[in-house]
Structure 1
Amino acid sequence: MDREPPSASLIAGRQAYAAILEQMAASARMELVILSHAFDAAVYGAEPLVERVKAFCLAHERARVRVLVNQPALAMRSAHRFVELGRRMPSRIGFRQLDDEDRGVIEELAIGDGRSLLHRETPDQLEARYLADAPLEARPHLKTFDELWERGVPAREFSELKI
């Protein structure tokens, strides 16, 4: 029996994108992965999102957040709350930058527990697709993310400077 693919919700604008990320962090139990071009402060610096990610990390002993950023130097021009949270919780939140050979990857995505998927083709695209419960659709994106993560290197710009 063929399965009907789930229909995606269309998400428009940065605030709506941040609200869906917040919802994904609220419903995740084990892992939230994020791939971002420049980790836009308007999306990732929103206090409700940061508080929800913090609650996720504290509520579940094995909770992990992995963030891959294409342009970490650009992202750090406006260092924001999410990065600070990651600095305070390095065992739960990891930041890596894409390997130089993968810098052509410009899509933005978030995946919660390998089931929910938020995706837009480019960072400047105003609309994104959201699938709340679509493990079959999320799986290839998570596989690609894992491959990029393995090739990536720690994002030094996001680590705390100790002098």
Structure 2
Amino acid sequence: MALLPESWPQAGDMQRHPLDNLPEFVAASRLTIASARRELVIQAPDLDPAVLSDAGICAALQAFLLQSRHARIRLLLNSADNTHGSHRFITLARRLPSYVQLLRAQPEDQAPACWLLADQRTLVWRPQFRRYTAGYACADAALPARTLLRDFNERWERGQPEPQLRQLHL
């Protein structure tokens, strides 16, 4: 697959661009984050350090959050068990807690897929969280985005704060 053009995502581009390896997922995620204006929604079974602790991804997330006081990130995860040491996303979430919300899904609400949705439209999706194959990026994925977001919001309402990510103030 050819990497996505720097001009991606473009309004009206409903084509699914296949993503088959980690660098392609990271590049598509950076471009998606850079295109976002109001909200990023992330479904991730855990805080995948290969993507969510990537320096470029976290820099893009920080730039997104600082561009507007209305910018928000919501992340729903299954577990934070594999989060050890310093994780850039957790550091960012702790620095900007009013803009970043993390919740753990209830056991019956946990999902194996991983996806990033920008402004209810631009989608980066992969079916199996630990495999960087068979995924895609779509700039104008309004219909699948609507379905994913509806399901996400229902599970979000039942989600709980992740105790392992609590910051202790001493």
TM-score by length of 2: 0.86
Aligned partner of 2:62 in structure 1 is 54
Deviation at 1:159, TM superposition (A): 2.6
Distance (whole Å) between structure 2 residues aligned to residue 52 and residue 33 of structure 1 = 14
Aligned partner of 1:122 in structure 2 is 128
Deviation at 1:161, TM superposition (A): 2.1
C-alpha spacing 1:130/1:78, structure 2 compared with 1 (3 Å): farther
C-alpha offsets along residues 111-146 of structure 1, whole Å, 9 cap, x if unaligned? 000001111111123221111122122110111111
1:92 aligns with 2:99: yes
2:29 to 9, 21, 24: 21
Deviation at 1:162, TM superposition (A): 2.1
1:155 aligned partner, one-letter code: E
How large is the Cα RMSD of the aligned pairs?
1.5
Aligned partner of 1:9 in structure 2 is 17
1:146 aligns with 2:164: no
Give yes or no for contact 1:18–1:44 (8 Å, CA) kept in 2.
no
User: Secondary structure of the residue that 1:91 maps to in structure 2?
Assistant: coil
1:158 aligns with 2:165: yes
Deviation at 1:78, TM superposition (A): 4.8
User: Secondary structure of the residue that 1:32 maps to in structure 2?
Assistant: strand
Runs of 4+, deviation exceeding 3 Å = none
Give yes or no for contact 1:34–1:66 (8 Å, CA) kept in 2.
yes
Give yes or no for contact 1:33–1:67 (8 Å, CA) kept in 2.
yes
2:142 to 127, 130, 135: 135
1:63 to 65, 71, 78: 71
Give yes or no for contact 2:65–2:99 (8 Å, CA) kept in 1.
yes
Query: How many aligned residue pairs are there?
Result: 157
TM-score by length of 1: 0.90
1:40 to 42, 48, 52: 48
2:137 aligned partner, one-letter code: Y
Give yes or no for contact 2:123–2:137 (8 Å, CA) kept in 1.
yes
Structure 1 residue ranges without an equivalent (≥5): none
Deviation at 1:7, TM superposition (A): 2.3
Structure 2 residue ranges without an equivalent (≥5): 1-12
| Greater share of residues in helix | 1
C-alpha offsets along residues 141-161 of structure 1, whole Å, 9 cap, x if unaligned? 111111111111112222312
